[in-house]
């Protein structure tokens, strides 16, 4: 069986890494079982990793490959940035050539970024021969819905789910959403969350990060080696176009953080889109920046006792370390709502909705909206929060193993003929 996995943007890497590791473990088990065979046993999986290049900087992509021990991509499409249409179209054009060359049995896409939809759409329409052979399409993190179609990710989620044949769901709301949309139940599998597989696998290793020292947030107490203590700090990420592409919206959010910034330092690793907007809108003084350079050291915050500490985007392990030790996280990211839930760290989501309701219902997340007052109120509440929340069902580090088990079974049951599994009519 030949499985082709697509990654493209930062949040894809931690979702795909555990599945690739589970495929490798599967292969090792099979090879050990058939050690005396000369040729490679048919049960092994040949894996191909395609990187679309939607994210291309070392800080947004390269460093994640080393932190997460991802193999080097077999194919790099190098598409880079562009409008949604240009980026999606470029990926589709280049991915079609790769598919026709590789003819995989399975195409696996993860998450909800433009690369996810572009590659699923190509795979749904391709045929490899006159018999109509085509790959099985697998979507990991299916069924999430914000019910807000102004979000590009919501469009990507809906369309990807409806062209996929195996849908792996992270939380129960996903099951319900897919059922409501008429997706046949035998395609849907509630397996847990591969992003949480990564978190659990790397949680201890993240302790070796020296980011707290670099930012001046861990201080030695007593004599050398006698111990150290971690200062109270909050962690902030903002990158959603609705929050940072409009000056007023961005300023409103910063105003909502003012009170917090007088209480403790706020570490703010700044996404490239957000860095551009800070410059373009002249917001440097609102962020307490000296000039336009991002320095990233608490000790650079001058005479102010607290304030915002800006850094460039951080690698996976450094960011995980910062999340683990934060008093509070403020974010507009999807994945961080899940990671803070798993770590038991209070999270304030600067959005009007979430496609991950389990993080609010049983986790540590609260949806604050994007207005100054509501953000400030949510921060006040979360700062004194006493309950740590619960870890959602099946977020136990085993999601990737369940996924590999299901798609091997499905492949053997249904796809040996390599005929289309997509029904001609929808239920």
Active-site residues, by number, are 239
* Residue closer to ligand UD1, measured from CB, 113 or 260: 113
* Residue closer to ligand UD1, measured from CB, 76 or 273: 273
- Residue 70 and residue 16 in contact, taking contact as beta carbons nearer than 8 Å: yes
Can you state the percent helix, strand and coil of the chain, rounding each to 5? 45, 15, 40
C-alpha span between 401 and 22 (Å, rounded): 6
φ and ψ at residue 206, rounded to 5 degrees = -65, -20
Under DSSP, the state recorded for 186 is G
The DSSP secondary structure of 60-122, one letter per residue, reads: IIIHHHHHTTPPPPSEE-------HHHHHHHHHHHHHHHHHHH--SEEEEESSSHHHHHHHHH
> Of the candidates 65, 59, 122, which has an alpha carbon nearest to the alpha carbon of residue 90?
122
> Of the candidates 283, 279, 311, 312, which has an alpha carbon nearest to the alpha carbon of residue 297?
311
The 3 state secondary structure assigned to 241-293 is: HHHHCCHHHHHHHHHHCHHHHHHCCEEEECCHHHHHHHHHHCCCHHHCCCCCC
* Residue closer to ligand UD1, measured from CB, 55 or 203: 55
- Per-residue b or e along 139-163, where b marks 16 or more CB atoms closer than 10 Å to that residue's CB: bbbbbbbbeeeebbbbebbbbbbbb
- Residue 95 and residue 88 in contact, taking contact as beta carbons nearer than 8 Å: no
* Residue closer to ligand UD1, measured from CB, 105 or 112: 112
CB of 90 to ligand UD1, least distance (A): 12
Residues of this chain that interact with ligand UD1 (CB under 6 A) are 9-11, 54-57, 60-61, 81, 113-114, 152-153, 239, 271-273
CB of 337 to ligand UD1, least distance (A): 12
C-alpha span between 202 and 270 (Å, rounded): 23
Number of H helices, E strands in the chain: 17, 15
C-alpha span between 11 and 404 (Å, rounded): 20
Under DSSP, the state recorded for 354 is -
* Residue closer to ligand UD1, measured from CB, 51 or 306: 51
> Of the candidates 330, 427, 422, which has an alpha carbon nearest to the alpha carbon of residue 123?
422
C-alpha span between 263 and 232 (Å, rounded): 9
C-alpha span between 56 and 269 (Å, rounded): 17
* Residue closer to ligand UD1, measured from CB, 89 or 421: 89
What kind and span of H or E run contains 364?
Answer: none
Structure tokens at 29: 């088990």
* Residue closer to ligand UD1, measured from CB, 16 or 45: 16
């Amino acid at each position: 069986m030949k499985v082709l996995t697509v990654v493209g943007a930062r949040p894809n890497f931690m979702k795909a890494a555990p599945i690739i590791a589970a495929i490798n473990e599967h292969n090792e088990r099979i090879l050990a079982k058939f050690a005396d065979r000369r040729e490679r046993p048919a049960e092994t999986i040949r894996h191909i990793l395609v990187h679309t290049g939607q994210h291309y900087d070392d800080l947004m992509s390269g460093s994640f490959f080393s932190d997460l021990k991802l193999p080097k991509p077999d194919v790099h499409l190098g598409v880079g940035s562009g409008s949604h249409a240009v980026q999606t179209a470029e990926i589709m054009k280049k991915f079609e050539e790769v598919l026709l060359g590789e003819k995989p049995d399975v195409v696996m896409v993860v998450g909800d970024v433009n690369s996810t939809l572009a590659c699923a759409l190509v795979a749904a329409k391709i045929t490899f021969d006159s018999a109509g052979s085509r790959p099985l399409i697998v979507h990991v993190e299916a069924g999430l819905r914000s019910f807000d179609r102004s979000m590009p990710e919501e469009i990507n989620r809906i369309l990807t789910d409806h062209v996929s044949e195996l849908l792996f769901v992270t939380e129960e709301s996903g099951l319900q959403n897919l059922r409501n949309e008429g997706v046949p139940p035998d395609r849907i599998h509630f397996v847990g969350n591969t992003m949480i597989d990564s978190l659990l696998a790397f949680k201890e290793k993240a302790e070796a990060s020296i980011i707290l020292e670099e930012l001046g947030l861990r201080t030695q107490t007593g004599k050398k080696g006698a111990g150290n203590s971690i200062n109270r700090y909050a962690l902030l990420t903002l990158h959603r176009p609705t929050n940072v592409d409009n000056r007023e919206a961005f300023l409103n959010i910063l105003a909502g953080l003012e009170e917090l910034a007088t209480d403790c330092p706020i570490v703010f690793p700044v996404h490239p889109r957000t860095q551009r907007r800070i410059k373009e809108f002249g917001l440097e003084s609102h962020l307490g920046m000296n000039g336009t350079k991002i320095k990233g050291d608490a000790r650079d915050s001058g005479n102010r006792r607290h304030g915002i500490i800006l850094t460039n985007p951080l690698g996976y392990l450094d960011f995980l370390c910062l999340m683990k030790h934060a008093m509070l996280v403020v974010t507009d990211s999807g994945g961080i709502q899940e990671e803070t839930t798993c770590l038991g760290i209070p999270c304030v989501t600067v959005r009007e909705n979430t496609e991950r309701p389990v993080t609010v219902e049983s986790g540590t997340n609260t949806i604050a909206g994007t207005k100054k007052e509501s953000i400030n109120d949510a921060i006040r509440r979360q700062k004194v929060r006493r309950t740590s929340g619960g870890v959602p069902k099946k977020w136990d580090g085993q999601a990737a193993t369940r996924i590999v088990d299901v798609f091997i079974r499905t492949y053997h049951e249904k796809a040996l003929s390599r005929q289309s599994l997509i029904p001609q009519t929808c239920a």
